[in-house]
Amino acid sequence: MAKEKEIKTNAMRILDKKNISYQVLQYQCAEFIDGIHTAEKNHVPAKQSFKTLVLQGKSRQYYVFVLPVEQEVQLKVAAKLAGEKSIEMIPVKDITTVTGYVRGGCSPLGMKKQYPVFLHSVALDYNEIYISGGRVGSTLCLSVQDLIAATGARTGVF
């Protein structure tokens, strides 16, 4: 029997193109679940699992914030880090239009456009972290330094 070929996401294709190694973890999920439950399904530490949030500044510029699944973004701190007067989460209905991904499958890699990426500095405490693989049911494990290199992420506390 032929082995079923994995359908790659934009995030995976970008990592492949940059010759960055990563591991794909698959989990069964019919609809959006939060990052804590995703970590549980993948049997990985929640502290090393990161979610991707897309925010929009007062200037109308979009920003990507990657932070631990157990934390909430501090909007005032995020705005200052992005050099904005104020910043807010984009509405859920706009996620696909802005990123090309669906809610629960939003990866900091491979969005429709390259937006500035900010990685929570707690990620630097780990060699590898887990991020969305670009679709619901897929998680990527990769080196923190490789994620920074692939996205041009700046680190900070937000």
Instruction: Note the pTM of the prediction, 2 decimals.
Output: 0.93
Residue whose token pair is 């972290």? 129
Cα–Cα distances in angstroms (integers) from residue 36 to residues 32, 56, 93, 125, in the given order? 12, 24, 22, 19
Residue whose token pair is 């993948």? 42
Integer Cα distance of 134 and 110 in angstroms: 8
pLDDT in tens, 139-154: 999 999 999 999 999 9
Q: Which helix (H) or strand (E) holds 104?
A: none
Phi-psi category of 43—alpha, beta or left, where left has phi over 0 and alpha has psi -120 to 50?
left
* Complete domains list, the chain, with CATH: 21-156 (3.90.960.10)
Percent of the chain having pLDDT more than 70? 94
pLDDT in tens, 32-85: 778 888 998 899 999 999 999 999 999 999 999 999 999 999 999 999 999 999
